Amino acid sequence: MTDSRSPWSGTTHVRGGFVAESVKKGARITGTDRSKLAGELKKKYTSGSSIRALAEETGRSYGFVHRILTENEVQLRGRGGATRGKAKQH
């Protein structure tokens, strides 16, 4: 039986063979639920998952996942992709 106050919706998302428990959209996550989610997100992020992928898997926003990671002192990766170099001299 699930606790009606729990933010966990009981549904799961499957992406790339990984199962992540979904959280009700906008539900406040505190205490042990937040610590559990933070540990899971940290593990996946340090294993190479992007913040956007983690947000999609958990049903939360990019900002929420970013905040959880920074609150837990995770070293975030650079943006990647093409970067702007020095302007070419003509």
Q: What is the pTM of this model?
A: 0.63
The pLDDT profile of the chain, 90 residues, written as one tens digit per residue, is 444 444 444 444 444 433 345 556 677 888 999 999 999 999 999 999 999 999 999 999 999 999 999 999 999 998 876 656 666 676
Question: In sequence order, what are the residues at sequence separation of 6 or more whose Cβ sits closer than 8 angstroms to the Cβ of residue 57?
Answer: 13, 15, 18, 20, 44, 49
pLDDT for the residue numbered 65: 96
